[in-house]
Amino acid sequence: MMDDAVREVARRSVLCWLATVDAEGQPNVSPKEVWAIADDQHVVVAHIASPISARNIAQHPQVCLSFVDVFVQKGFKLVGRAREVRAADPEFFAWAAPLLAIVGQRFAIHSVLVIQVQSVAAIVAPSYRFYPDDTTEASQVASAMRGYNVQAVEKDKP
């Protein structure tokens, strides 16, 4: 379900956004810094400081996770069902492995939010749709770099 294109954009995305809903139907969207695609059907998110997300998932497991490469302005929306795997659970370290590789000793991971992905949809900036003849990934990167006031770093030559 999650092919190489999804994995590549995920690799380039600094944050993902996890949407959950509470018992009263109140939505919550929370940025997540430590997350990974675990396999073709699962995404794992570290519960480092996510008590609301964890509580909401216990009440309503349906979630949406989105991520975007902010320079290319393309990404993906993943919809699925989540569950919390706590540190005391036998399967914790299997799910936590890619997250622990990211954080090392920097953060304590209280639990892992495991999302079984049910659907994947592309996210693209409106320019790609409304101005397809003028919009390329290169033009979007240039525009984003101007907007964020950043410059490309020249790579060291061998």
Contact 65, 59 (CB under 8 A): no
Please provide the DSSP assignment of 76-121 as one string. Answer: EEEEEEEEEEETTSTTHHHHHHHHHHHHTTSS---EEEEEEEEEEE
For 128-139, what is each residue's pLDDT tens digit? 899 889 888 888
pLDDT at 54 over 70: yes
Spans of all domains in the chain: 4-125
Backbone φ and ψ of 9, nearest 5°: -65, -40
Instruction: Considering the domain delimited by 4-125, tell me its CATH architecture.
Output: Roll (2.30)
Identity of the amino acid at 81: R
For 105-125, what is each residue's pLDDT tens digit? 899 999 999 999 999 999 999
CA distance 25 to 62: 12
Query: What pTM was estimated for this model as a whole?
Result: 0.89
For 10-53, what is each residue's pLDDT tens digit? 999 989 999 999 999 999 999 999 999 999 999 999 999 999 99
